[in-house]
Amino acid sequence: MNKVRDKRGDLSLRKQIYWFLRIRKGLLNRILDCTAIDIEYLVYSGPNSRVYFGRYRYLEDGVRDVVVKVPSKEAFRLDMIIEETRINAQLKNERIVEYIGYYRDAFNDMRIVSEYMPGGDLHSFVSSRKNILTVGHIFNFIGQIAEGMEYLSSKKIIHRDLAARNCMLNRDCTAIKIADFGLSRHFNADANYTCSSPVRLPLRWTAIECLGQNGEILQYSKFSEKSDVWSFGIVIWECFSRGEMPYGTEEVKDVLPRLKSDWRLPRPSQCPAGL
C-alpha cells in the first residue's frame, strides 16, 4: 500500500509523521469526524483542488452548510496541505471565510472544511449582466477586500492567490470574505517569502517581479505584501471590467515586456478616471 501511495506522490510514512508532529495543538483540535460530513455535489474543479458542497452534522440536531476542499496531489505535497490548514486555523476575521476543520477520508487524504458562502464568488457576480453594479457597489466590495488583506498582513501572511474568484459573497451579495489559502505563506522578518519549489500560481494575477522572461514563476521568487497589492489591483480591474480576463487573449509572456516598461491594463469604461 505504501509503495502504491508513493507512486501517487505522497511523502514517506516517516515524513508524514514528522509533519503531523509539527502541527500545533490548536490545529489538532480542529480534526472533524469524517462520518459527520455529507458530500452533496461538486462546486468547482481546478488545477489545484476540487471543492464540494456538503453538510456538517456538528450536533445531534445541528446541521451546517459547508464547502469541502480536496487539494490536488499533483499540485500540493502533504506538508503544503498541512501548512494551509495551519494558516487557516490562525485566521478569525469577518472578512475571511471561516475555517471549520479538516478530516481524512477513506483513502487517508486530507479534506479541508470551511464556511459556505451562498452568494458565490465575486467573479461570477460581476460577470453576470443581470446584476446591476454601480461604482458605489464596487467601491464597497473593494473596501471589504482591502480590510481582509490588511488583516492578513497583520498576521504576516501573503495570500499569493488573490483574485475575484477567491472572494466569496454572502446570501444577499453585500458582504465579501476572502477564501482559498492553499498558496498562502507566512513572510519573514524582511517581509518576504521565498518560493524555492515549483508551484502553480495564477500568472495573470502574479506580480511582474516574480515572473521570468517567458512568463514563468521564477524559482526562488520573493513574494511580499507588495505582491498581494499587485493582485489586489487586478481584482479592482476585474470588478470594473465586469469580469474580463486580464490581458485578454494575450499570453503573459507577450505582455510582460510592456508591463516592465510601465504599461498597464487599460481603464475600464465604468472605472472613474481618478482611480
Structure confidence by residue, pLDDT tens digits, 82-113: 777 788 888 999 999 999 999 988 887 888 89
Mean pLDDT of 205-216: 79
* 149/251 same-domain check: yes
Tens digit of each residue's pLDDT (9 = 90 or more) over 1-39? 343 344 444 555 665 555 555 554 445 557 899 999 999
Average pLDDT over residues 210-218: 70
CA-based diameter of the chain, in Å? 61
Confidence of residue 191 (pLDDT cuts 50, 70, 90): very low
The count of structural domains within the chain is 2
Q: Are residues 134 and 80 in the same domain?
A: no
Query: Are 42 and 174 part of one and the same domain?
Result: no
For residue 47, what is the DSSP state?
S
Instruction: Indicate left, alpha or beta for 121 from its phi (over 0: left) and psi (-120 to 50: alpha).
Output: beta
Q: Is 237 left (phi over 0), alpha (psi -120 to 50) or beta?
A: alpha
Note whether 70 and 49 are within 8 A (CB): yes
Instruction: Name the average pLDDT for the chain.
Output: 82
State the average pLDDT over residues 44-49.
79
The answer on 227 and 98 residing in a single domain is no
Active-site residues, by number, are 161
Q: Per residue in 124-160, pLDDT tens?
A: 999 999 999 999 999 999 999 999 999 999 998 888 8
CA 141/CA 195 separation, integer angstroms = 30
Rounded Cα distance, 254 and 144, in Å:
33
Contact assessment for residue 201 and residue 212, using Cβ atoms and an 8 Å cutoff? no
Inter-residue contact 152 to 90 (CB < 8 Å) = no
Other C-beta atoms lying within 10 Å of the C-beta of residue 272:
10
What are the tens digits of pLDDT across the range 110-127? 888 999 999 999 999 999
Map residue 200 onto helix, strand or coil.
coil
pLDDT above 60 (res 72): yes
Of 163, 151, 220, 152, which is closest to residue 186 (Cα–Cα)?
152
Closest Cα partner for 233 from 191, 186, 179, 271? 271
Which three three-digit cell numbers place residue 182? 492553499
Instruction: Looking at the structure, tell me whether residues 97 and 146 fall in a common domain.
Output: no
Give the distance, in angstroms, between the CA of residue 196 and the centroid of all CA atoms in the same chain.
Answer: 19
* Contact between residue 100 and residue 30 where contact means Cβ atoms under 8 Å apart: yes
**Pairwise CA distance, residues 176 & 167, whole Å:** 6
Q: What pLDDT sits at residue 192?
A: 44
Please give the model's pTM, rounded to 2 decimal places: 0.81
Q: Which range has the worst mean pLDDT, 70-74, 167-171, 242-246?
A: 70-74
The CATH number of residue 210's host domain is 1.10.510.10
pLDDT band at 230 (very low <50, low <70, confident <90, very high): very high
- Tell me whether residue 23 is in a domain: no
**What percent of the chain shows pLDDT beyond 90?**
48
Domain region containing 168: 120-261
